[in-house]
């Protein structure tokens, strides 16, 4: 019972803040008499969301699709690169500067290049989502692998463990908390990538829908697009948090494992 | 090169047992050219099979370096290191190692942590899948019982105290029946009473398994309690200054550590290390060294 009260108190504050935010927004627009062309009220946005849902849905699907495909490819590449860079000093020293160089390029700037190569549409969105989420994954996985305690490495080496043994039994499990932390950052970044690409060059997707809506001054629909993106982002973030908790619960032991 | 070589090499007790570890003018130098630092001066040392040898000396004197060379983690810059009668790398002997930092894997419970070497070292490796739930599990549990951790197999490392983690660490170093056990200050971070408890456990393990042990420690009482032989090292570049045989009867207990002969041995060792810290070989009475 006490625990339930505690959870309510914990979650209550954040829920109240979210509700309060929207209530404030609604009231502010009403009292200041702000036109819905400038800033629609949350109720208007939700109305637009319901009204245009049959039209919004295919765009939502498209954005979700490009984001997830790009994200998945990015995760695989990022994980492999992270393992490579983290487990070899030579690879670390060689590849890191190049990687930093790539990552410091604003990803919006590469969209035109992808369009040039693949034409407008799905592929540039996937590629943009992909490259934007590689870097945080590489850095985190490499850090997790490179920071294995030297004593533990010595113990493994005296057992004549191969590099693969060490990677599989020690380094990889150890880097999982880092990996999941990166996944949560990467999934939200992947949305940024795909939406930017859709905005610049696509005839489908939430980004494209928002461009069209704004050019016809359907501002509630523009905001409805934002709401959809926020919803998708939060849902995927929560999903990865849950998986993270299952896989790397040992790294969060202070919260509840200790109580068992 | 070194006046002490012959002396230390021949001081091995139990001359009947075959030589298991042999250092032949092995040295370690870090860095190159003008910045080269000699960590270990050319050293010769023989350790008989089944012996228990402690290395003591001031910080940074190359004690751990010797351990690492035996464990094939470091190659000598010059000279040779033979383990089990041959040049390192020639024959596979099984080695167990334990550091002061227990380095248990936080995502595995104690039983799986202790079982880790069985997953890696042949011939256990080949049978790991079929035996992990049967024979190997019993083997680990028996070992845990021996060190007083019966019933803790399901616990996770963070649920254990430092002393218990160190016991589990010892089990991990022993589970694959090593021929050689390398200990680098394994009890250094524990409180006095836990440490003394673990000395007794360590002694029992050694007496029951008859393996060769090399122990690096700062604690002279620990060295005298556990070892058959104590090698005292000088400060950097490390050399073996003296080789003391500890002829106290086994099994030893804590009461013995307060007997006059034990105390006298301790004082002799202490004087030598204080001297080694000063680098003069003469006991240094300057304040602050006590």
What does the domain layout of chain B look like in residue ranges? 51-71+93-278
**Does residue A239 sit within a domain?**
yes
Supply the angle between the helices A122-146 and A172-200 in degrees, to the nearest 10. 160
Write the secondary structure of A129-159 as one string of H (helix), E (strand) and C (coil). Answer: HHHHHHHHHHHHHHHHHHCCCHHHHHHHHHC
- State yes or no: cis peptide before B3, omega within 30 of 0: no
Assess whether A7 and A82 both reside in one domain. Answer: no
Split at pLDDT 50, 70, 90, the class of A253 is: low
The pLDDT confidence band at residue B125, using thresholds 50, 70 and 90, is confident
One domain, residues A22 and A46: no
Do A193 and A123 reside in the same domain of the chain?
A: yes
Higher pLDDT, A251 or A220: A220
Task: Answer yes or no: is pLDDT of B174 > 70.
Answer: yes
Please state whether A11 falls in left (phi above 0), alpha (psi between -120 and 50) or beta. Answer: alpha
A21 and A62 both lie in a single domain: no
Pair A80, A23 in one domain: no
Cβ atoms B203, B226 nearer than 8 A = yes
Contact B101, A151 (CB under 8 A): yes
pLDDT confidence of residue B89: 54
Largest CA distance in chain B: 63
Residue A254 has pLDDT above 60, yes or no: no
Q: Does A127 touch chain B (CB under 8 A)?
A: no
Please state the domain count of chain A: 2
Say if residue B281's pLDDT is above 50. no
A85-111 mean pLDDT: 85
Question: In this structure, are A221 and A99 located in the same domain?
Answer: yes
Query: Count of CB atoms within 10 A of residue B155's CB?
Result: 15
Minimal C-alpha gap between B199 and chain A (Å): 21
Structural domain range at position A81: 41-255
The verdict on residue A119 lying in a domain is yes
Say yes or no for a CB contact (<8 Å) between A155 and B103.
yes
Q: Are residues A12 and A131 in the same domain?
A: no
Which pLDDT value is given to residue B91?
61
- Give the residue from chain A lying closest to B115, CA to CA: A169
Q: What ipTM was estimated for this complex? A: 0.79
pLDDT at B278: 67
Q: Which of residues 24-63 of A touch B (CB under 8 A)?
A: none
Select the residue from A149, A151, A155 to test the B interface by mutation, using most B Cβ atoms within 10 A: A155
The residue of chain A with its CA nearest to that of B104 is A152
C-alpha B213/C-alpha B198 separation (Å) is 15
Q: List residues of B whose CB lies inside 8 A of any A CB.
A: 68, 71-73, 92, 95-99, 101, 103, 105-107, 116-117, 119-121, 156, 158-159, 172-173, 176, 182
Residue B95 with chain A: CB contacts under 8 Å: 158-159
CB atoms within 10 A of CB A247: 15
Average pLDDT value for residue range A131-157:
89
Helices (H) and strands (E) in chain B, counts: 9, 10
8 Å CB contact between B233 and B61: yes
Identify which of B96, B106, B119 has the shortest CB distance to residue A250. Answer: B106
For residues B265-284, give the mean pLDDT: 71
Give residue B121's pLDDT.
85
B99, B100, B112, B166: which to substitute to probe chain A, counting the most A Cβ within 10 Å?
Answer: B99
Best residue in A147, A154, A164, A254 for a mutation probing chain B (most B CBs within 10 Å) = A154
User: Which parts of B57-157 fold into alpha helices (H)?
Assistant: 63-70, 110-120, 124-131, 135-146
| Contact of A179 with A79, CB cutoff 8 Å | yes
Rounded CA gap, B173 and A197, in Å?
Answer: 55
Residue B86 has a pLDDT of: 61
Query: Minimal Cα distance from B180: which residue of A?
Result: A158
Q: In angstroms, what CA-CA distances link A202 with A27, A52, A121, A205, B190?
A: 36, 20, 4, 7, 65
A260 domain residue, yes or no: no
What's the pLDDT at A163?
87
**For B107, which of A151, A155, A173 is closest by C-beta distance?**
A173
A13-53 pLDDT, tens digit per residue, is 888 999 999 999 999 999 988 888 889 999 999 999 999 99
Q: Are residues A138 and A232 in the same domain?
A: yes
Q: What is the pLDDT of residues B51-82, one digit of tens each?
A: 999 998 887 778 888 888 888 888 888 888 88
Task: Determine how many CB atoms are found less than 10 A away from the CB of residue A167.
Answer: 18
Do A169 and A243 sit in the same domain of this protein? yes
Q: B133 falls in which pLDDT band (50, 70, 90)? A: confident
Q: What is the pLDDT of residues A175-205, one digit of tens each?
A: 999 999 899 899 989 999 999 999 888 888 9
Do A131 and A175 lie in a common domain?
A: yes
What confidence score (pLDDT) does residue B13 get?
47
Q: Taking all residues of chain B, what is their mean pLDDT, rounded to a whole number?
A: 81
Least confident stretch, A8-12, A17-21, A108-112? A8-12
Chain B residues near residue A156 by CB distance under 8 angstroms: 120
Please answer yes or no on whether A165 and B120 come within 8 Å at the CB atom. yes
Beta bridge partners of B136: none
Residue A87: pLDDT band by 50, 70, 90 thresholds?
confident
Range from A154-158, A250-254, B184-188 carrying the lowest mean pLDDT: A250-254
Spell out which residues of chain A touch residue B68, defining contact as CB-CB under 8 Å: 154
Distance from CA of A253 to the nearest CA of B (A): 8
Whether A152 and chain B come into contact, CB under 8 Å, resolves to: yes
Q: Which residues, 6+ apart, have CB-to-CB distance to B192 below 8 Å?
A: none
Structure tokens at B63: 């004690």
CB of B107 within 8 A of CB of A173?
Answer: yes
pLDDT computed for residue B16 by the predictor? 63
pLDDT at residue B170 is higher than 60: yes
Q: Distance (Å, rounded) from C-alpha B232 to C-alpha B264?
A: 15
Residues of A in contact with B173 (CB under 8 A): 155
Report if residue A146 sits inside a domain: yes
- Interchain proximity B68–A154, CB inside 8 Å: yes
Nearest CA in chain A to B121: A159
Say if residue A120's pLDDT is above 50.
yes
Q: How many CB pairs under 8 A join A and B?
A: 62
Q: What share of chain B has pLDDT > 70, as a percent?
A: 88
Percent of chain A with pLDDT over 90: 47
Handedness of CA A151, B96, B144, B226 (dihedral sign): negative
| B287/chain A closest Cα distance in angstroms | 35
pLDDT of B90 reads 56
Tell me what the mean pLDDT of segment B210-228 comes to: 89
Q: What is the pLDDT of residues B37-55, one digit of tens each?
A: 888 888 888 888 889 999 9
The reply to whether A163 and A250 lie within a common domain is: yes
* A104 and A207 together in one domain: yes
Which residues of chain B make contact with A147, given a CB cutoff of 8 A?
Answer: none
The alpha-carbon gap from A129 to the nearest alpha carbon of chain B, in Å, equals 32
Confidence of residue B122 (pLDDT cuts 50, 70, 90): confident
Query: Taking residues A54-82, what's their average pLDDT?
Result: 94
What superfamily in CATH does domain B51-71+93-278 come from?
A: P-loop containing nucleotide triphosphate hydrolases (3.40.50.300)
Q: Do B120 and A151 touch (CB under 8 A)?
A: no
């Amino acid at each position: 019972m006490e625990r339930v009260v505690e959870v309510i108190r914990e979650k209550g504050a954040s829920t109240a803040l979210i509700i309060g935010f929207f209530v404030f927004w609604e009231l502010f627009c009403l009292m200041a008499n702000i036109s819905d062309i400038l800033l629609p009220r949350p109720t208007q946005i939700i109305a637009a969301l319901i009204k245009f849902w049959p039209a919004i849905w295919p765009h939502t699907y498209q954005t979700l699709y490009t984001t997830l495909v790009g994200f998945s490819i990015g995760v695989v590449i990022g994980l492999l690169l992270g393992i490579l860079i983290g487990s070899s000093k030579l690879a670390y020293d060689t590849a890191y500067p190049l990687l930093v160089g790539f990552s410091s390029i604003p990803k919006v700037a590469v969209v035109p290049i992808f369009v040039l190569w693949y034409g407008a549409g799905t592929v540039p969105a996937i590629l943009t989502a992909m490259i934007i989420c590689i870097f945080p994954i590489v850095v985190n996985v490499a850090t997790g692998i490179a920071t294995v305690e030297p004593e533990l490495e010595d113990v493994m080496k005296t057992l004549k463990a191969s590099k693969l043994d060490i990677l599989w039994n020690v380094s990889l499990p150890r880097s999982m908390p880092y990996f999941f932390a990166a996944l949560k950052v990467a999934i939200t970044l992947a949305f940024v990538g795909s939406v930017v690409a859709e905005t610049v060059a696509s005839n489908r997707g939430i980004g494209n829908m928002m461009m069209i809506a704004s050019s016809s001054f359907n501002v509630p629909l523009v905001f409805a697009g934002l709401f959809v993106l926020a919803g998708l982002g939060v849902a995927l973030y929560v999903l990865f948090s849950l998986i993270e908790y299952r896989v790397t619960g040992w790294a969060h032991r202070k919260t509840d494992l200790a109580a068992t | 090169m070194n006046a002490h070589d012959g002396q230390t090499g021949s001081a091995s007790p139990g001359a009947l047992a075959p030589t298991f570890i042999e250092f032949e003018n092995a040295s370690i130098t870090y860095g190159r050219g003008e910045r080269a630092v000699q960590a270990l001066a050319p050293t010769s040392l023989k350790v008989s099979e089944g012996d228990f040898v402690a290395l003591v000396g001031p910080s940074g004197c190359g004690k751990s370096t010797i351990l690492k060379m035996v464990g094939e983690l470091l190659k000598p810059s010059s000279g040779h290191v033979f383990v089990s009668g041959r040049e390192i790398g020639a024959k596979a002997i099984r080695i167990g190692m334990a550091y002061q930092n227990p380095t248990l894997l936080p995502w595995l419970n104690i039983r799986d942590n202790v079982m880790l070497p069985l997953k890696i070292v042949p011939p256990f490796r080949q049978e790991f899948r079929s035996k992990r739930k049967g024979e190997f599990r019993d083997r680990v549990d028996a070992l845990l019982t021996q060190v007083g951790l019966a019933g803790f197999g399901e616990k996770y490392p963070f649920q254990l105290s430092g002393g218990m983690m160190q016991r589990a660490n010892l089990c991990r170093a022993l589970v694959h029946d090593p021929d050689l056990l390398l200990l680098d200050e394994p009890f250094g971070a524990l409180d006095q009473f836990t440490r003394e408890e673990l000395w007794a456990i360590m002694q029992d393990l050694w007496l029951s398994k008859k393996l060769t042990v090399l122990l690096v420690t700062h604690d002279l009482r620990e060295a005298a309690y556990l070892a058959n032989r104590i090698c005292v090292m000088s400060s950097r570049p490390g050399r073996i200054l003296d080789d003391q045989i500890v002829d106290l009867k086994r099994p030893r207990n804590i009461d013995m550590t307060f007997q006059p002969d034990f105390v006298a041995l301790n004082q002799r060792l202490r004087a030598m290390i204080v001297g080694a810290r000063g680098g003069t070989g003469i006991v240094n009475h300057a304040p602050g060294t006590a």
